Structure formats: C-alpha cells, structure tokens
Amino acid sequence: MDTILINGKVYTMDSERSIKKAIAIKNGKIERVGTNEEVLSLKANGTEVMDLEGKLVLPGFNDSHIHLVYVGHTLTMVSLSGVTSIDEIGKRILDFIEEHKIKKGSWIRGTGWNQDYFQDEKRFPTRFDLDKITSEYPIIISRACGHVAAANSLALKLLNITKDTPQIEGGHFDVDENGEATGIFRENALSLIYKSLPIPTKDETKAMIKMAIRELHKQGITSVGTDDFGALPNKDYKQIVESYLDLRENNELDIRVNQQCLFPSLDKFSAFLEAGYNTGWGDENYRIGPLKLLLDGSLGARTAALTKPYKDDNRTTGIVILEEEELGNIVEYAHKNNTQLAIHAIGDRAMYMSMDSIEKALKKYPREDHRHGIVHCQITDEVLLNRFKDLDLVAYIQPIFLDYDWKIVRDRVGEELEKTSYNWKTMVDKGVNIACGSDAPVETFNVLYGIYEAVTRKDLQGNPKEGWLPEQSLTVDEAVYGYTMGGAYSTFEENIKGSIEEGKQADLVVLSRNIFEIPAEEIKDVEVLTTIFNGRIVYEK
C-alpha cells in the first residue's frame, strides 16, 4: 500500500452517502475505504500513514466549466478585478507597466473589470478613456465576462480598424456619430482585436497551464471541464491539444482535463472530427469532451439573448451568435456523429433555441444517454425548466455567479422572469443533473465560495440578508454533489471519479472544517488543507 489516511471524516459521496474513517491508496487508486482497523491491516513496509485528525475528506473537486488556459494567461495580465472606477483602471495599468518594466510599444492586456462596480459612471471604458492613461502602449482590456473588450487608439491603429472596417456577424464594435470606432467591441467583433495579438508559443502555453493548475490545486480542484480552444489569439486548437499532451507525456499534467471544444462553424468542427477527434478521445488525464457552442453573450453586458427587450434598455434583446438554421445544422451534425454537446446559453431566447435544436436532433436520430447540456442556463421560465428533464440535459451551473448577478437580474429581465431564473433547487427536484463550475476567470474558482452561495443564496458580503430567491437554496450535499459526482456524470466518468469508492481515482481534498456541520454562512471561510491527485499530495497549506 502506498498511502493510508486514518482518523478522518470521509464523506464518500457514494449512492448511500456513507461516512468512513480511513482510506488506503495504491498506484493512484483507492484500494479500501473503511474503519481505521480495516485500512491499517493493509499497511506494509514503506506505507505512508497520514493522520487526518478528524478533518473532513471529500472527493477532489471538479470545476465543470472553466477556461484553464485563459486562467493561466490572465496571470500574465493586468488584474482589473474589483476596480471601482475608470481612473482605477488607469492606475493599475500604469503600476503594472512600472512593476514589470514593460518595454514601450509592447501590448498591454488587462482583464476583470465590470462597469456595474464603478462608483461614478457605470459605463464601458472607451478608447478616449484609455488614451488618457498612455499613448505609448497599445491597450486591450476585457470585461470580466469575456464578452466585451475596450481598446485604445494606438491598439486600433495597429489593428488597422478604421471607419471602413465592416461589422462582424454575431457581434459588433461601437461607433460614434461620425462612424469612428469608440474602442468598445462585443461578442464576435472581439475577433477583430484578438486575431492580431502576439500569439503565445507552445512552451508559453504549457507554462500558463501549469501556473493555472497550481492555483486550482489550492482550491482542491482535481478535475476540470475546460473550454480552451478560443484561448489563444489565433484560436489554434492544435497548439492547445499538443500542449496538454506534452505535459501528460512528461507526467506534468496534475489534473484531469475534459476539453470542451469550442468551434464557431460547422466546417471547422467537421474538420476536427475528420482529424480523428471526438467525445471520449484520450484518457483519464486528458480527454476530448463535448462540442462547445457559443450562442449568446452575458447578462452583465446585456448581450445575453432574451425573448423580450431588456427592462433596463429596451433598445436591445441581446445578441444571437448563431442563427437558428446554422445552429440546427451544427447540432444535428454533432449529434449524428455521437459528439456530446455543451451549448452556452444565458438568455431565455438562447435557451429556447438550444433546446429546440437538440430536440429536433433527438427526434431525427434518437439516442439514449447523450448527456448534451446547457452551459450557464441562467434566465429560464417554467417551460424551460421542465424541458431540461424532458430532454435529459445536463445543467452546467455556476453558483458563484450569484455574487454579482442577484443585484442585476430584476433590472435586466423584470420581476416575473427573475422568479424562475437561477432555479437550481427546482432543477434538482425535477431530477436534472447539475454540474457545478466557476467559468473562471470570469469569476473566482474558489469552490467553497461556490458551495456557500449555492446553499445560502447570498453574496460573499452576506447579502441579501434573507438570501436571493431563498427557496432555491441547495443543501450542502446537493452542492457538493454538483462539484463532484455531478461533474463526473457530465463527462461520462462517474464510474472512475466523483466519489470515494474502491477502484476509483485517488483524487481527494481535505478541508479545515466540516461544511456539513457548521453554519452555512461560515462555509466561505473554510480552507483547503490538502489536495491529493492520483494518490499524490499536490498541495498542502
């Protein structure tokens, strides 16, 4: 036996929800789960024994929807998370330039701002704002959601974006009364700025992945469903796949990756299939997962596609990135070719379009256990909530989104639609499989924060005091399931991970307190003490 853990509170998350004391690990797998005596009887010379001193042990956390490469990439950018004004954006950029001794003329990338947190003007920054910071560096700053970015005049000049640049289908860049770009880019128009940015090399990409994994381990995360194919400016999926495979070959990929494969069109996706890839390709360390389709934008940026105009801006219903016919063709082709689907849909219109396209594909090519899913699925009505179970869809939810969204949902969609949105308890009660994640770097990947918000329906400051739509609170068990077995089910891997059972992967997390026994308000303060991946300690506080 390689390692034995004793004197723990081992919440196995198996179907009986058994609680055990000890775990034996051999060759990266769980050999035995039971009493101290049962497990210690397997001790041999050289077996390492770890005394858990009564601490809670859970299966390693699974972030069901993240952008791992981009998480690594943002660690090399200016962090604009939490800025409260456009002036503060300028200060952080100048501090970053000085601290890192950035050469004049180099591209400056920033990410994480959210205009709703600005205390003066709650608007998107424009090129005119960014020009005041510096004229010696081209600047591009992305909104926290990743669906909007702003560029300064030097960046626009270097990118050759002029009055004559045509708009892009499925997105747009803002112009003034003279037709000149204001520096604000939305949805597909982001490609105009990203495609010309310096492209990280494969070695740089691998370094970004390793940086991100180190941070994920600190939060007890041992598995991810990650959407990376759009992470590099040139959208080169081959470099992403090769980077992961290189790390795997060198035993440096200390996380289980299920790749959510983003493709913007049928021709690009069909070429991917023709290259030999499909859902299930790979192994337990790196596997190709679903085709990821991007159907609308974000609620915060008012680009999520709604059936009716936004209550706080009746000029728009959001943006649909794929029109109905194109969406239907891609969904049918993927389904027919046994590819799993994960469709980004936030607004109710995007949700209806997603479900309609999947329903048509299922009628034409019936298939059991397809595990197609909707990513985000935020703005829902009663009909949509019922269709989740009718179509047997996975709901990829992000509990941490409550931290910001509870403040804006009613303003954006009105009170009636608010009541049936972010309805996770209703989903669980209807038997829908939820798979919890963070969408990082859009929000933090701190899993304990996510569990806290799913259970309390409050933000990290404890608001609103009674919880937002408190009847939609999950139990701690339901939330933990979403971050463990729910994620494993979404990737067809519930038989190899997601619970602490004999024969499964030895991916574990040890917490500082028992989240099943403490007041729910204190869950956010619980710390990860140890993360074990494949039987090895990869993080210790």
Specify the CATH number for the domain of residue 523: 2.30.40.10
Q: Which pLDDT score, from 0 to 100, does residue 233 have?
A: 80
Contacts of 366 (CB under 8 A, 6+ apart): none
Mean pLDDT across the stretch 477-497? Answer: 99
**C-alpha span between 180 and 175 (Å, rounded):** 5
Percent of the chain surpassing pLDDT 90:
94
pLDDT level of residue 197 (50, 70, 90 thresholds): confident
Whether residues 40 and 93 share a domain: the answer is no
pLDDT level of residue 348 (50, 70, 90 thresholds): very high
Q: Which pLDDT score, from 0 to 100, does residue 146 have?
A: 87
Residue 204 within a domain: no
pTM: 0.91
Helix or strand holding residue 264 (H, E): none
Question: Tens digit of pLDDT for each residue in 505-528?
Answer: 999 999 999 999 999 999 999 999
Q: Which pLDDT score, from 0 to 100, does residue 347 have?
A: 98
Whether residues 187 and 86 share a domain: the answer is yes
**C-alpha span between 241 and 286 (Å, rounded):** 9
pLDDT level of residue 235 (50, 70, 90 thresholds): confident
Mean pLDDT across the stretch 523-534? Answer: 99
Residue 237 within a domain: no
Q: Which pLDDT score, from 0 to 100, does residue 234 have?
A: 80
Whether residues 3 and 42 share a domain: the answer is yes
Dihedral through CA 376, CA 378, CA 383, CA 388, nearest 10? 20
Question: Tens digit of pLDDT for each residue in 46-60?
Answer: 999 999 999 999 999
User: Which of 194, 222, 241 is a domain's end point?
Assistant: 194
Q: CATH number, domain at 93?
A: 3.10.310.70
Residue 186's beta-bridge partner residues?
148, 172
**C-alpha span between 490 and 500 (Å, rounded):** 18
Residue 436 within a domain: no
Residue 203 within a domain: no
pLDDT level of residue 195 (50, 70, 90 thresholds): confident
Whether residues 50 and 135 share a domain: the answer is no
Mean pLDDT across the stretch 159-169? Answer: 93
Whether residues 110 and 154 share a domain: the answer is yes
Six-digit token string for 523 = 């869950």
Percent of the chain surpassing pLDDT 70:
100
Residue 127 within a domain: yes
Residue 114 within a domain: yes
CB 111 within 8 Å of CB 441: yes
Residue 517 to residues 33, 34, 176, 461, 514: CA-CA distances in angstroms? Answer: 22, 21, 57, 21, 6
Whether residues 169 and 114 share a domain: the answer is yes
Mean pLDDT across the stretch 163-177? Answer: 92
User: Which of 143, 165, 194 is a domain's end point?
Assistant: 194
With both helix axes pointing from N to C terminus, report the angle between 202-217 and 237-249 in degrees, rounded to the nearest 10.
60
Q: What is the bridge-based pairing of β-strands 181-187 and 171-175?
A: antiparallel
pLDDT level of residue 356 (50, 70, 90 thresholds): very high
Question: Tens digit of pLDDT for each residue in 96-121?
Answer: 999 989 999 999 999 999 999 999 89
Mind giving me the DSSP string for 405-449?
A: HTTTHHHHH-HHHHHTSS-HHHHHHTTPEEEE---TTSS---HHH
- Domain with 123 in it: 78-194
Mean pLDDT across the stretch 428-436? Answer: 98
Mean pLDDT across the stretch 69-91? Answer: 94
Task: Give me the number of domains the chain comprises.
Answer: 2
Whether residues 37 and 82 share a domain: the answer is no
Whether residues 176 and 98 share a domain: the answer is yes
pLDDT level of residue 430 (50, 70, 90 thresholds): very high
Residue 39 within a domain: yes
CB 89 within 8 Å of CB 110: yes
User: Which of 156, 177, 194 is a domain's end point?
Assistant: 194
- At which residue do the structure tokens 């931290």 appear? 403
Mean pLDDT across the stretch 136-157? Answer: 95
**C-alpha span between 351 and 160 (Å, rounded):** 36
Which strands sit side by side in the sheet containing 286-294, from one edge to the other? Answer: 61-66, 221-226, 256-262, 286-294, 341-345, 373-376, 394-397, 433-436
Whether residues 184 and 86 share a domain: the answer is yes
Question: Tens digit of pLDDT for each residue in 381-399?
Answer: 999 999 999 999 999 999 9
CB 293 within 8 Å of CB 344: yes
CB 433 within 8 Å of CB 372: no
pLDDT above 90 (res 262):
yes
Q: Which pLDDT score, from 0 to 100, does residue 202 have?
A: 95
Mean pLDDT across the stretch 430-453? Answer: 98
Chain mean pLDDT for the chain: 97
Six-digit token string for 119 = 């205390």
**C-alpha span between 280 and 338 (Å, rounded):** 10
Residue 132 within a domain: yes
pLDDT level of residue 1 (50, 70, 90 thresholds): confident
